[in-house]
Each structure stands twice: as structure tokens, then as C-alpha cells.
């Protein structure tokens, strides 16, 4: 569970899936017996939060005035950062990609930077969502161990 929480802050580790794996491991011991509904719900939350972590930076780019080029740049920057410069690349990649995408379409520097800022804030929001999900799963994990 601790590694799951750390995974929310370190882009190299998949935080919520690790936290959910901790819940599953606890379920298959004699210490806990989670309901099927509980496990399915948290499995869906885990999938949703993991997908949103990749989508929210692109959405942030759009909300801060980015064009389709900025959104594409953010997505491409995320992929490049993910594979070539992890974990820093996952933070810098979408930001730089959004700026480059906007600059290519001729947007001025402040407009390009604003789109990049939206991408960065989207990244921060994604981390917050992952962290919230992992902390709540850790709460249920600890609750089952104590009771």
C-alpha cells in the first residue's frame, strides 16, 4: 500500500493499480473478506483514475486555451517523456509538447505557455486523483487489518 501511494508521486510506478493489488492480496488472506461489489467498484475506480491520469493533461491544455495542435503536442510529449526520460519526462513532456504544438501553429509565446501551464496543471490534477484513490484504498486496507 505504501508503494502504491509512492507510485502516485513517482510517475514510474503505477500507484492505484499497486494499491488495488494490495487490497486483492489482503482479500485472499484470512485477515479480510471484501465483498465482490467492493472489489469491482475499486477495480473500476482504479481503471478510471489510471486512464484519467493520461487524459487530464490533454484536457488541461484545452481548458487553458490550447488548440488541437497543443493537445496533440501534450499527448505526444507525454508519450515521449514516458519512454525516453522517465520520471521527469512525464512531467516536462506534456508541458513542452503543448508549448511546441502551439508554437508550430503560430500562437504567440504567452498563448503557448498558457497551454503548457494547462497541461502541467492537468498533470497535477491527475496526481491528486491517483493519490486520493490510493489513500482511500489504504484506509480500507488498514481498517480491515485493525478490525
Cα separations in angstroms, 101 against 18, 91, 138, 143: 34, 16, 39, 47
Alpha-helical (H) ranges within 64-86 are 68-84
- What's the pLDDT at 74? 86
- What's the pLDDT at 136? 97
- What's the pLDDT at 84? 83
Q: Which cell is 142 given? A: 488498514
Structural domain including 16 reads 2-146
- What's the pLDDT at 34? 92
- What's the pLDDT at 9? 84
The predicted-structure confidence for 78-134, as pLDDT tens digits, reads as follows: 889 888 887 788 788 888 999 999 999 988 989 899 999 998 899 889 999 999 999
- What's the pLDDT at 35? 94
Per the model's pLDDT, the better-predicted residue between 147 and 124 turns out to be 124
What size, in residues, is the chain? 147
Lowest mean pLDDT, pick from 3-7, 22-26, 62-66, 82-86: 82-86
Is residue 5 within 8 A of residue 131, CB to CB? The reply is: yes
Per the model's pLDDT, the better-predicted residue between 132 and 146 turns out to be 132
- What's the pLDDT at 46? 97
Domain total of the chain: 1
The predicted-structure confidence for 9-58, as pLDDT tens digits, reads as follows: 877 789 999 999 999 999 999 888 899 999 999 999 999 999 998 889 88
Whole-model pTM over 0.75: yes
- What's the pLDDT at 38? 96
Amino acid at each position: 500500500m505504501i508503494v502504491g501511494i509512492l507510485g502516485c508521486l513517482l510517475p514510474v510506478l503505477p500507484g492505484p493499480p499497486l494499491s488495488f493489488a494490495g487490497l486483492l492480496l489482503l482479500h485472499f488472506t484470512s485477515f479480510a473478506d471484501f465483498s465482490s461489489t467492493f472489489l469491482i467498484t475499486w477495480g473500476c475506480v482504479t481503471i478510471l483514475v489510471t486512464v484519467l491520469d493520461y487524459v487530464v493533461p490533454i484536457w488541461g491544455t484545452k481548458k487553458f486555451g490550447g488548440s488541437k495542435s497543443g493537445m496533440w503536442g501534450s499527448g505526444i510529449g507525454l508519450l515521449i517523456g514516458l519512454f525516453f526520460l522517465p520520471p521527469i519526462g512525464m512531467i516536462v513532456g506534456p508541458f513542452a509538447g503543448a508549448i511546441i504544438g502551439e508554437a508550430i501553429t503560430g500562437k504567440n509565446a504567452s498563448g503557448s505557455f498558457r497551454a503548457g501551464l494547462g497541461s502541467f496543471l492537468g498533470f497535477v490534477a491527475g496526481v491528486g486523483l491517483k493519490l486520493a484513490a490510493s489513500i482511500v484504498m489504504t484506509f480500507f486496507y488498514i481498517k480491515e487489518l485493525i478490525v
